[in-house]
Each structure stands twice: as C-alpha cells, then as structure tokens.
C-alpha cells in the first residue's frame, strides 16, 4: 500500500458532473462519456475525463478552472473515460494521474452497435512522470483510497459480454483488470464506481470487507443497460433483485447513477430504492 504523507480532513465535498450522456441544459455539451469534478476542503479532483475535451468546455461554463485540478483518477481504460486525457495534460501542468498499472498496456474493443476500438490511440507516455500506477490499492492524503474489487460473489453485468481487450495475446474477453474504485473519507465514504464492470454488488461487498466503514454515497455508472430486441441484458426481475439486495445490505446508502445505467433500469431500481437513488446528468451537482 502506497501513502502520500499530508493529511486531508474532509468536512464537506462538492460534486459536479462535467460530462455525461445526458444534459438538461442546452448550453452544456453531452457525450457518451463520464467526468465528475470533486472538491474537498483542500483538494480538487476529477473522476475520469470523458471521451473528448467536452468536459473542459463544460468546466469553463460552470466556473471550474481545469488548471487547478490536483488529482485525476481514471476508473478504467475505455475511451469514454480516458479520451479527454491528452487535452487535459496540455492544459493542466500539475495534477497526478492515478490509474491501474494495466490501463495503458492493453487495447480495448466493443462489439455493441458495431465492432470498434475503444482505446486511447494517443501516446501520452511523455507525461509518464505525472502518472501514478496502482497495482491493487493505494491511499492518498490518508482519506482518498483507490482499490480494485476483491469479491466475485455476484454476477458481473451482462453487457460485459460485448467488451474485449488485447493485452498482447490476441483478442479476449475483457476481465477488467484495469478497473479501479475510488473512495473519499475514512469512516463515512463517498464512493465512485466508474462503470462498475465488476458488478455494483461486488464493489459494495469489497468495501464492506472493512466493517468500520459506512458507505454514505455511491456515484457512477452501474453498467446495467436497457435490453433491446437485438441485445438482451439483465431482465427487469434481475434488476429488482439487485435493488432489493442493495436496500437490504446498504439501507442508508444513497446511489447516484447515470452514464451506463439505462433509463428503464433506473426506473426499476427506483421502485425499490425510492429516494435512495437519483439520476445524474451533465451539470448535476450536490454538496455532501
């Protein structure tokens, strides 16, 4: 486990979505991507960087100075989460980029809506001195923890079957060895799931391996897609089962989702979770 030395005392946090698939404000750009700004008492962070520089355009309109960002946490290597890295590095000269040691060693592909490459195709290794590569777990400033999902008790999202990687041995199913989870706080946690490719319940279970920690908020995509005639994913009954498990095991946790959580899926989750779940969009903000 790797520690940075300074102490971070988080009293309040501001969360602002800079890029998502949806927007309720025509002045803000949307895209199939995700970028979330998090401001603690002492630090400014980005959770993923979307698919392009649209998060930068939105940040300007929302009064966020990208040059002030201290940390970027990349949840996984898919283009809709890392595509904005080159323009970010050109603009911001100080932030540390935290990502899995496997992220830049592999190529990624999707066959949903046609087979395509979803890798970052720009060489960013000239900025290698700004990267922090995570193998399994790291702690930053004593209050920001980055870790991998450690439990496989529950099924992975069915949409994972459309995703592949090439780590040098040819095309194979993506096992998401490049996925990281980020939590803020020591006892009462704010957790970022990225796309939760390892499964939301598995991620929650990994955090629960530390019984002293209470999960207050979870934000991110849950990779539970709406089924279509040509592509079937979780049934509504399976979604209901997931919701009931979440409510039973984490009755005090508030879930905030979007990006790769389908609208029909969200509505089904909300039938069980009620006010414990909300849908985010570009420009969505909350202070906790």
Checking DSSP bridges between strand 35-39 and strand 14-19, what pairing results, if any? antiparallel
pTM: 0.94
The reported pLDDT for the residue numbered 11 is 57
Per residue in 97-147, pLDDT tens? 999 999 999 999 999 888 999 999 888 889 989 999 999 999 998 889 999
The reported pLDDT for the residue numbered 5 is 32
Task: Say how far apart CA 172 and CA 17 lie, in whole Å.
Answer: 33
Per residue in 73-84, pLDDT tens? 999 999 999 999
Q: How far is CA 39 from the centre of its chain?
A: 16
Per residue in 154-177, pLDDT tens? 999 999 999 999 999 999 999 999
Lowest mean pLDDT among 7-16, 105-114, 175-184, 216-225: 7-16
For the structural domain made of 12-287, what CATH number should be given? Answer: 3.60.15.10
CA-based max dimension of the chain: 53
The reported pLDDT for the residue numbered 41 is 86
In the chain, pLDDT over 70 holds for what percent of residues? Answer: 95
Q: How far is CA 169 from the centre of its chain?
A: 27
């Amino acid at each position: 486990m790797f520690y940075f030395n300074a102490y971070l005392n988080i009293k309040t946090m501001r969360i602002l979505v800079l890029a998502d698939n949806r927007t309720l404000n025509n002045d803000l750009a949307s895209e199939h991507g995700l970028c979330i700004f998090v401001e603690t008492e002492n630090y400014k962070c980005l959770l993923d960087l979307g698919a392009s520089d649209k998060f930068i355009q939105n940040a300007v309109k929302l009064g966020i100075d990208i040059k002030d960002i201290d940390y970027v946490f990349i949840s996984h290597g898919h283009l809709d989460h890392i595509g904005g890295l080159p323009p970010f590095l050109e603009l911001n000269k100080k932030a540390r980029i935290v990502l899995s040691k496997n992220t830049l060693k592999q190529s990624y592909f999707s066959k949903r809506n046609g087979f395509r490459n979803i890798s970052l195709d720009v060489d960013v290794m000239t900025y290698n001195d700004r990267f922090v590569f995570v193998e399994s777990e790291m702690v930053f400033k004593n209050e920001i923890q980055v870790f991998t999902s450690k439990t496989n008790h529950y099924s992975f999202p069915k949409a994972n079957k459309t995703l592949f990687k090439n780590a040098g041995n040819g095309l194979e199913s993506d096992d998401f060895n490049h996925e990281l989870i980020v939590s803020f706080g020591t006892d009462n946690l704010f957790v970022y799931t990225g796309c939760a490719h390892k499964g939301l319940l598995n991620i929650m279970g990994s955090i629960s391996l530390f019984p002293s920690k209470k999960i207050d908020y979870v934000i991110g995509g849950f990779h539970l897609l709406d089924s279509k005639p040509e592509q079937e994913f979780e049934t509504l009954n399976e979604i209901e089962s997931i919701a009931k498990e979440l409510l039973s095991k984490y009755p005090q946790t508030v879930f905030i989702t979007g990006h790769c959580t389908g609208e029909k899926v969200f509505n089904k989750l909300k039938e069980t979770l009620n006010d414990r779940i909300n849908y985010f969009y570009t420009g969505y903000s909350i202070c906790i």
